[in-house]
Structure 1
Amino acid sequence: MSGGRFGLIIVAAGSSSRMQGIDKVWAPLGGRSVLSHSVANLGPFCDEVVVVVRADQVERTVSVFGSEPNLRVVTGGNDRRASVSAGLHALGDVEFIAVHDCARPLATPSLLQSGREALHRWAAAIPVIPVSDTVKRVDPDGQVAETIPRDSLRLVQTPQLFRAPALRQAHDWASGLGEPVTDDASLLEAQGMIVGTILGDVRNVKITTPLDLQVARFLVETGA
C-alpha cells in the first residue's frame, strides 16, 4: 500500500472459553490453522506484523511463523486491552495501524485498503455490516423494555484501522481505567475522536463457538 508505513496487530491471546476445549487459534481451517489464515490474508499488505499470543503459545507460534519477514511474536496481557498494548509496544515507527482479531480468519485485504483510504478523513475506520434482525432491549426480568430501530445500528468487525498516534494516545489514556475493553475504536470515541465506518463483509465471520468454526469451514471449502 502506498503512503506511510503500515503496522498490523493480530490479537490471538484469548482463552477460547466458549469453544468446548478447542483452541481456535490452531483449529484447522481449509488445510491450515485459523491464525495462519489471518497472517496470510493480511500480513503481506503490511510493513510490520505483530502476533499477540498467550505465554504458553509463544514458542509454538515462533516455530510456525518465525521465518515470516517483518513478523514478531509477543506475549499478551490479562485482557484484550493489555494484549493490544503489548502489540503497540512491539511495533516500530508506523503511521497507520490495523488491529485484527485472529478469530476472524476470512478477513480480506480489501478491508485494509478501504480502511486505509478512510484514514485520510478520520482518526479511525472500522468495518461494519447492517443489522438484519429485530433488536429489543430487555430488563433484568427478561421482559421486553423496547424495540430499538435498527436503521442506524451496525455490527462491528475487524480489522479496525487507526492513525497510529491516535491509537497510542487512546491506549495510554485507558491504561489506568481498569475496565474491560472489547473494541479499540471505543477508546477513541471516549476521547472525542471521530471514528468512521467502511462497509464490512458478511463472510468475515467471527469464530466464538464450534458452530462458528463449522460455518467458516463451509465458506472456505465452498468458496461461498
Structure 2
Amino acid sequence: MTNKLKNNAELICIIPAAGKSSRYNKLNKIFESLEDDEENGLDVLNASILNINTLGVVKKIYIGYDDTSKESCNFKEVISNTNNDIDENISSEEKLAIGLFKKISFVKGGNSRQETVYKCLQHIKNFKSDNDNTWVLVHDAARPCVFPFENLEFINKTIESDTSSIMAIPISDTIKKVDEESKISYTLPRENLWLAQTPQMFKFNILYESLKHCSENNIAVTDDSQALEVLGHKCIVHMGKPYNNKITYQSDLSYAKCIYEHMYKSLYEDEGD
C-alpha cells in the first residue's frame, strides 16, 4: 500500500488498550485469539495493530496499556525485547515484524478510554511540540474487523476535507428508550442517527485541546468525537461497515472470528504470495 498522504500530512495512531473488559466476563478480550489455534493464533489486539500498520502511512503507533495487567505487561515486554535483540540472519517476515514493532510505543493508560487517549496525546506533545500538520487516528483495540484499504480511503477523505471525521453507520433498527424497570418509555426517531465506530481521525491540536478541556472540567465522553462536540469543533461522518464491530461480549468474538477466517486470512495470504 501507499506510504504517502495527501498534503504531506503526518499520521500517528493511538490504540487505547487499557480497558478491563468488565462486560466481557472472561479474560481480557483483546488477547483472545481470532484463530482456532488459541495459543499461537493472531489475537484481537495484534490484528488491530496489523490492520493499521498495513496501511503504510502511519508513522508511529502509540498503545495505551494497562500497567496492572499481566497480559498487557507481557505484550509490552515481548515488543520491547524484540526491538533490543535483532539478529541479522532473520527471515524477511521477521524483519517486517521488527519494522512494525519499532513503530510501537507504550503509554500507561488511565481509568477510562478518554483518559488513556489523553495520556497518549500528552506523551506525544512532550516529545514533539510542533503538531500543526499532524493527524491522529484513534482506533479501538477491540475492533479488528475493518479492511486496511477501507481505513486508507477514510484517511484520505478526511485529509481532503481537512475536517475531523469518524467512521459510522446509519441506524436501521428501531430504538427504544427504556426505564429502570425495562419498561419502554418511548421510541426515538432514527432519522439522522448513526452508530459511531473507529477509526476516528482528528488534527492533533484540536483533539488535544478538546480532551484537555474535558479533563480539566470533569466532562466524561464515551468517544473522542464527543470531546470535539463539547467545544463546538466540526466533525463529520464517513460511511463505515456493519462488520466493523467492537468486541464487547463473548458472542462478538465468534462473529469476528468468522470475518477473520473468511476475509482477512485471504487478504494477508494474497499479499504474502
Contact 1:137 1:145 in 2 (8 A): yes
Distance 1:139 1:119 in 2: 42
What is the SS of the residue equivalent to 1:105?
A: coil
SS of the residue 2:261 aligns to? helix
- Bigger Rg, which one: 2
Which ranges in structure 1 are unaligned for 5 or more consecutive residues?
none
Counterpart for residue 199 of structure 1: 239
C-alpha deviations, 1:118-164, integer Å up to 9, x for none? 24435410001121211122344544333222231111100100011
Paired residue for 1:48, among 60, 66, 75? 60
Query: TM-score normalised to the size of structure 1?
Result: 0.91
Letter in 1 for 2:52: L
Residue equivalent to 1:99: 138
CA contact (8 A) 2:179 2:185 kept: yes
What is the TM-score with the length of structure 2 in the denominator? 0.76
| SS of the residue 1:88 aligns to | helix
Identity %: 31
Count of residue pairs brought into register by the alignment: 224
Report the secondary structure of 2:157's partner residue: helix
Distance in 1 of aligned mates of 2:249 and 2:62: 25
Distance in 1 (CA, whole Å) between partners of 2:199 and 2:224 is: 10
1:147 matched residue in structure 2: 187
Query: Unaligned 5+ residue runs, structure 2?
Result: 36-40, 84-100, 265-273
Which residue of 2 is the match for residue 59 of structure 1?
A: 73
**Aligned counterpart in structure 2 of residue 134 of structure 1, from 158, 162, 174:** 174
CA RMSD in angstroms comes to 1.9
Aligned counterparts of 2:174 and 2:33: Cα–Cα separation in 1: 34
User: Alignment partner of 2:252: what SS?
Assistant: helix
Tell me the residue number matched to 1:20.
25
More strand by share: 1
Q: Residues 145-199 of structure 1, C-alpha deviation per residue, up to 9 Å, x if partnerless?
A: 3322223111110010001111011011111222432111011011111110101
More deviation in 119-128 or 13-22? Answer: 119-128
2:17 and 2:141 in contact (8 A); partners too: yes
Aligned to 2:210: 170
The structure whose residues are more often helix, as a share, is 2
**Paired residue for 2:248, among 197, 208, 223?**
208
Q: Which moved more, 1:176-185 or 1:194-203?
A: 176-185
Task: Indicate if the aligned counterparts of 1:13 and 1:53 stay in contact, CA closer than 8 A.
Answer: yes
